[in-house]
Protein backbone atom coordinates (compact mmCIF):
# COMPACT_ATOMS: atom_id res chain seq x y z
CA UNK A 1 0.00 0.00 0.00
CA UNK A 2 1.11 3.57 -0.66
CA UNK A 3 2.18 5.54 2.39
CA UNK A 4 -0.34 8.04 3.79
CA UNK A 5 0.58 11.54 2.60
CA UNK A 6 1.03 14.18 5.30
CA UNK A 7 1.18 17.98 5.11
CA UNK A 8 2.22 20.34 7.92
CA UNK A 9 1.32 24.04 7.66
CA UNK A 10 3.14 26.23 10.20
CA UNK A 11 1.48 29.55 11.11
CA UNK A 12 2.13 32.37 13.55
CA UNK A 13 -1.35 33.04 14.98
CA UNK A 14 -4.86 31.59 15.06
CA UNK A 15 -6.57 32.93 11.90
CA UNK A 16 -3.40 32.73 9.76
CA UNK A 17 -4.24 29.15 8.78
CA UNK A 18 -7.55 30.45 7.39
CA UNK A 19 -6.20 33.50 5.55
CA UNK A 20 -3.09 31.84 4.06
CA UNK A 21 -3.30 28.58 2.15
CA UNK A 22 -6.62 27.47 3.63
CA UNK A 23 -8.16 26.38 0.33
CA UNK A 24 -5.05 24.31 -0.34
CA UNK A 25 -5.29 22.51 2.98
CA UNK A 26 -9.04 21.94 2.53
CA UNK A 27 -8.37 20.48 -0.92
CA UNK A 28 -5.76 18.06 0.37
CA UNK A 29 -7.97 17.02 3.30
CA UNK A 30 -10.74 16.22 0.79
CA UNK A 31 -8.24 14.10 -1.17
CA UNK A 32 -7.37 12.06 1.93
CA UNK A 33 -4.13 13.77 2.95
CA UNK A 34 -3.46 14.14 6.68
CA UNK A 35 -3.01 17.86 7.38
CA UNK A 36 -1.63 19.29 10.62
CA UNK A 37 -1.80 23.03 11.24
CA UNK A 38 0.79 24.23 13.74
CA UNK A 39 -0.02 27.52 15.50
CA UNK A 40 3.03 29.12 17.10
CA UNK A 41 1.25 31.60 19.40
CA UNK A 42 -2.14 32.11 20.98
CA UNK A 43 -2.85 35.41 19.22
CA UNK A 44 -3.29 37.07 22.62
CA UNK A 45 -2.09 40.48 21.43
CA UNK A 46 -3.91 40.54 18.10
CA UNK A 47 -6.37 43.32 17.35
CA UNK A 48 -10.14 42.87 17.49
CA UNK A 49 -10.96 43.77 13.89
CA UNK A 50 -14.69 43.05 14.02
CA UNK A 51 -16.25 46.26 15.39
CA UNK A 52 -19.25 44.32 16.69
CA UNK A 53 -16.94 42.39 19.03
CA UNK A 54 -14.67 45.23 20.16
CA UNK A 55 -16.05 45.07 23.69
CA UNK A 56 -14.55 44.89 27.20
CA UNK A 57 -15.92 41.39 27.83
CA UNK A 58 -14.22 40.12 24.66
CA UNK A 59 -10.89 41.72 25.53
CA UNK A 60 -11.10 40.29 29.05
CA UNK A 61 -11.30 36.74 27.67
CA UNK A 62 -9.36 37.15 24.42
CA UNK A 63 -7.02 34.16 24.89
CA UNK A 64 -9.91 31.74 25.50
CA UNK A 65 -11.95 33.24 22.67
CA UNK A 66 -9.10 32.88 20.20
CA UNK A 67 -8.73 29.21 21.13
CA UNK A 68 -12.45 28.63 20.62
CA UNK A 69 -12.29 30.37 17.24
CA UNK A 70 -9.36 28.15 16.27
CA UNK A 71 -11.37 25.07 17.24
CA UNK A 72 -14.22 26.19 14.99
CA UNK A 73 -11.92 26.95 12.04
CA UNK A 74 -10.10 23.65 12.45
CA UNK A 75 -13.38 21.77 12.24
CA UNK A 76 -14.42 23.66 9.09
CA UNK A 77 -11.10 22.97 7.35
CA UNK A 78 -11.01 19.34 8.51
CA UNK A 79 -7.42 19.61 9.72
CA UNK A 80 -5.62 18.53 12.84
CA UNK A 81 -4.12 21.39 14.85
CA UNK A 82 -1.40 21.81 17.48
CA UNK A 83 -0.23 24.78 19.55
CA UNK A 84 3.48 25.45 20.06
CA UNK A 85 2.57 27.48 23.15
CA UNK A 86 4.46 30.74 22.58
CA UNK A 87 3.08 34.16 23.53
CA UNK A 88 2.01 36.60 20.79
CA UNK A 89 4.49 39.44 20.30
CA UNK A 90 1.97 41.98 19.07
CA UNK A 91 2.59 44.32 16.15
CA UNK A 92 4.65 47.28 17.39
CA UNK A 93 3.54 50.68 16.15
CA UNK A 94 5.05 54.15 16.45
CA UNK A 95 8.21 56.02 15.57
CA UNK A 96 10.46 54.91 17.06
CA UNK A 97 8.96 51.44 17.45
CA UNK A 98 8.51 50.35 21.07
CA UNK A 99 10.41 47.31 22.33
CA UNK A 100 8.73 43.93 22.04
CA UNK A 101 7.16 42.50 25.20
CA UNK A 102 9.46 40.44 27.38
CA UNK A 103 9.06 36.70 26.87
CA UNK A 104 7.19 36.98 23.57
CA UNK A 105 7.66 34.60 20.63
CA UNK A 106 9.76 36.95 18.50
CA UNK A 107 12.38 37.33 21.26
CA UNK A 108 12.96 33.60 21.74
CA UNK A 109 16.24 31.98 20.79
CA UNK A 110 15.61 30.30 17.43
CA UNK A 111 17.45 27.12 18.36
CA UNK A 112 15.37 26.74 21.52
CA UNK A 113 12.07 27.77 19.92
CA UNK A 114 12.56 25.28 17.08
CA UNK A 115 12.62 22.37 19.54
CA UNK A 116 8.84 21.97 19.99
CA UNK A 117 8.40 22.09 16.21
CA UNK A 118 11.12 19.48 15.69
CA UNK A 119 9.26 17.26 18.14
CA UNK A 120 6.01 17.71 16.20
CA UNK A 121 7.72 17.01 12.88
CA UNK A 122 9.15 13.78 14.26
CA UNK A 123 5.78 12.75 15.68
CA UNK A 124 3.58 13.73 12.71
CA UNK A 125 6.22 12.87 10.05
CA UNK A 126 5.10 15.32 7.33
CA UNK A 127 6.24 14.84 3.76
CA UNK A 128 5.61 18.52 2.97
CA UNK A 129 5.91 21.62 5.16
CA UNK A 130 4.56 25.08 4.32
CA UNK A 131 5.42 28.32 6.10
CA UNK A 132 6.19 32.01 5.41
CA UNK A 133 9.11 33.57 3.56
CA UNK A 134 11.98 35.46 5.20
CA UNK A 135 9.81 38.59 5.47
CA UNK A 136 7.04 36.64 7.18
CA UNK A 137 4.71 37.25 4.25
CA UNK A 138 4.41 40.68 5.83
CA UNK A 139 6.80 42.03 8.47
CA UNK A 140 5.03 41.05 11.67
CA UNK A 141 7.62 39.95 14.27
CA UNK A 142 5.80 36.66 14.88
CA UNK A 143 5.58 35.88 11.16
CA UNK A 144 9.29 36.47 10.73
CA UNK A 145 10.01 34.27 13.75
CA UNK A 146 7.64 31.62 12.37
CA UNK A 147 9.76 31.56 9.22
CA UNK A 148 13.00 31.21 11.19
CA UNK A 149 11.68 28.45 13.42
CA UNK A 150 10.10 26.54 10.52
CA UNK A 151 13.29 26.55 8.46
CA UNK A 152 15.41 25.59 11.48
CA UNK A 153 13.09 22.71 12.36
CA UNK A 154 12.94 21.48 8.75
CA UNK A 155 16.74 21.35 8.65
CA UNK A 156 17.07 19.69 12.08
CA UNK A 157 14.22 17.19 12.19
CA UNK A 158 16.03 14.58 10.09
CA UNK A 159 19.41 14.93 11.80
CA UNK A 160 19.93 12.28 14.52
CA UNK A 161 22.63 14.41 16.15
CA UNK A 162 20.30 17.36 16.74
CA UNK A 163 17.63 17.35 19.43
CA UNK A 164 18.22 13.61 20.09
CA UNK A 165 15.82 13.75 23.06
CA UNK A 166 12.89 14.82 20.85
CA UNK A 167 12.11 11.56 19.07
CA UNK A 168 13.22 9.49 16.10
CA UNK A 169 14.57 11.62 13.21
CA UNK A 170 12.24 12.39 10.32
CA UNK A 171 13.22 14.40 7.25
CA UNK A 172 10.35 16.20 5.49
CA UNK A 173 10.85 16.06 1.74
CA UNK A 174 9.72 19.53 0.63
CA UNK A 175 9.52 23.01 2.15
CA UNK A 176 7.38 25.77 0.65
CA UNK A 177 6.82 29.44 1.33
CA UNK A 178 3.26 30.68 0.94
CA UNK A 179 3.12 33.52 -1.61
CA UNK A 180 -0.25 34.97 -0.73
CA UNK A 181 -0.19 37.95 -3.05
CA UNK A 182 1.59 38.83 -6.26
CA UNK A 183 1.10 41.89 -8.42
CA UNK A 184 -0.38 39.72 -11.18
CA UNK A 185 -2.96 38.27 -8.79
CA UNK A 186 -4.02 41.67 -7.44
CA UNK A 187 -4.18 43.06 -10.97
CA UNK A 188 -6.29 40.12 -12.17
CA UNK A 189 -8.79 40.56 -9.33
CA UNK A 190 -8.83 44.34 -9.77
CA UNK A 191 -9.50 44.13 -13.51
CA UNK A 192 -12.15 41.45 -13.03
CA UNK A 193 -13.99 43.71 -10.57
CA UNK A 194 -13.89 46.65 -12.96
CA UNK A 195 -15.03 44.47 -15.88
CA UNK A 196 -18.00 43.39 -13.79
CA UNK A 197 -18.91 47.04 -13.17
CA UNK A 198 -17.94 46.84 -9.50
CA UNK A 199 -15.76 49.08 -7.38
CA UNK A 200 -12.39 47.44 -6.81
CA UNK A 201 -10.99 47.29 -3.27
CA UNK A 202 -7.49 46.97 -4.76
CA UNK A 203 -7.11 50.47 -6.25
CA UNK A 204 -5.08 51.88 -3.36
CA UNK A 205 -3.17 48.63 -2.96
CA UNK A 206 -1.98 48.77 -6.57
CA UNK A 207 -0.94 52.40 -6.14
CA UNK A 208 1.18 51.48 -3.13
CA UNK A 209 2.64 48.49 -5.00
CA UNK A 210 4.86 50.76 -7.08
CA UNK A 211 7.21 50.99 -4.10
CA UNK A 212 7.12 47.30 -3.16
CA UNK A 213 8.95 44.30 -4.61
CA UNK A 214 6.79 41.79 -6.46
CA UNK A 215 7.03 38.21 -5.23
CA UNK A 216 5.28 36.86 -8.30
CA UNK A 217 8.53 35.75 -9.97
CA UNK A 218 9.27 33.55 -6.94
CA UNK A 219 6.18 31.39 -7.48
CA UNK A 220 7.06 27.82 -8.48
CA UNK A 221 3.83 26.04 -7.60
CA UNK A 222 0.19 26.93 -8.26
CA UNK A 223 -2.38 24.70 -6.57
CA UNK A 224 -5.82 24.69 -8.24
CA UNK A 225 -8.22 24.99 -5.31
CA UNK A 226 -10.98 27.44 -6.30
CA UNK A 227 -13.60 24.85 -5.35
CA UNK A 228 -12.47 25.28 -1.73
CA UNK A 229 -12.50 29.09 -1.57
CA UNK A 230 -15.90 29.00 0.19
CA UNK A 231 -14.45 26.65 2.82
CA UNK A 232 -11.54 29.08 3.27
CA UNK A 233 -13.93 31.98 3.82
CA UNK A 234 -16.09 30.02 6.26
CA UNK A 235 -12.97 29.18 8.28
CA UNK A 236 -11.86 32.80 8.20
CA UNK A 237 -15.25 33.99 9.43
CA UNK A 238 -14.95 31.52 12.33
CA UNK A 239 -12.20 33.81 13.65
CA UNK A 240 -14.91 36.32 14.45
CA UNK A 241 -12.74 38.67 16.51
CA UNK A 242 -10.05 38.76 13.83
CA UNK A 243 -12.13 39.43 10.74
CA UNK A 244 -14.81 41.98 9.90
CA UNK A 245 -17.45 39.97 7.96
CA UNK A 246 -18.33 43.18 6.09
CA UNK A 247 -14.70 44.09 5.48
CA UNK A 248 -12.11 44.07 2.74
CA UNK A 249 -11.60 40.31 2.48
CA UNK A 250 -15.18 39.67 1.42
CA UNK A 251 -15.72 42.47 -1.11
CA UNK A 252 -14.86 40.40 -4.19
CA UNK A 253 -17.71 38.05 -5.26
CA UNK A 254 -16.80 34.40 -4.86
CA UNK A 255 -17.44 33.39 -8.48
CA UNK A 256 -15.27 36.26 -9.65
CA UNK A 257 -12.38 35.16 -7.39
CA UNK A 258 -12.70 31.59 -8.61
CA UNK A 259 -12.57 32.68 -12.23
CA UNK A 260 -9.91 35.40 -12.03
CA UNK A 261 -7.33 33.56 -9.89
CA UNK A 262 -8.26 29.93 -9.11
CA UNK A 263 -4.98 28.96 -7.43
CA UNK A 264 -3.06 29.43 -4.20
CA UNK A 265 0.61 29.99 -4.89
CA UNK A 266 3.86 28.83 -3.32
CA UNK A 267 7.62 28.95 -3.67
CA UNK A 268 9.46 25.63 -3.38
CA UNK A 269 12.63 26.37 -1.37
CA UNK A 270 13.86 22.90 -0.31
CA UNK A 271 13.29 19.56 -1.97
CA UNK A 272 14.71 16.10 -1.38
CA UNK A 273 12.83 14.67 -4.37
CA UNK A 274 12.87 15.27 -8.10
CA UNK A 275 10.02 17.56 -9.06
CA UNK A 276 10.33 19.61 -12.28
CA UNK A 277 9.16 23.21 -12.07
CA UNK A 278 6.65 24.72 -12.40
CA UNK A 279 4.39 22.49 -10.31
CA UNK A 280 0.68 22.22 -9.65
CA UNK A 281 0.89 19.89 -6.64
CA UNK A 282 2.75 20.30 -3.32
CA UNK A 283 3.25 16.53 -3.37
CA UNK A 284 4.79 16.40 -6.85
CA UNK A 285 7.70 13.98 -6.61
CA UNK A 286 6.57 12.90 -3.15
CA UNK A 287 3.69 10.77 -4.39
CA UNK A 288 6.08 8.58 -6.36
CA UNK A 289 8.30 8.16 -3.29
CA UNK A 290 5.32 7.28 -1.09
CA UNK A 291 3.91 4.85 -3.67
CA UNK A 292 7.22 3.02 -3.73
CA UNK A 293 7.43 2.70 0.06
- Would you list which residues are annotated within the binding site? 13, 16, 143
> Which ranges of the chain does DSSP label H, i.e. alpha helix?
16-19, 22-30, 56-60, 62-77, 110-124, 141-156, 183-195, 203-209, 229-238, 254-260, 286-292
The dihedrals phi and psi of 273, each to the nearest 5 degrees, come to: -125, 160
**Are the C-beta atoms of 117 and 82 separated by less than 8 Å?**
no
Chain centre distance of CA 215:
16
Crossing angle for the helix pair 62-77 and 229-238, nearest 10 degrees?
Answer: 160
Q: Which residues are annotated binding-site positions for Zn(2+)?
A: 13, 16, 143
**Are the C-beta atoms of 37 and 80 separated by less than 8 Å?**
yes
The dihedrals phi and psi of 263, each to the nearest 5 degrees, come to: -120, 160
SS3 53: helix
**Are the C-beta atoms of 244 and 197 separated by less than 8 Å?**
no
- Contacts of residue 257, defined as CB under 8 A and 6 or more positions apart, other chains included, come to 189, 226, 229
Amino acid sequence: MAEQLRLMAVHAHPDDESSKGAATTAKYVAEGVDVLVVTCTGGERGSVLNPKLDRPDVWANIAEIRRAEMDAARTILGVEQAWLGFVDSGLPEGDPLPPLPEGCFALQDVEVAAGPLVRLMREFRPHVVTTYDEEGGYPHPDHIMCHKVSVAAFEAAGDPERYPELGEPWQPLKLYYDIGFSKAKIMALHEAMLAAGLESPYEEWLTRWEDRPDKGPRITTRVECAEYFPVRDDALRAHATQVDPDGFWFHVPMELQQRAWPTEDYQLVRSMVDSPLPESDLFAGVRETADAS
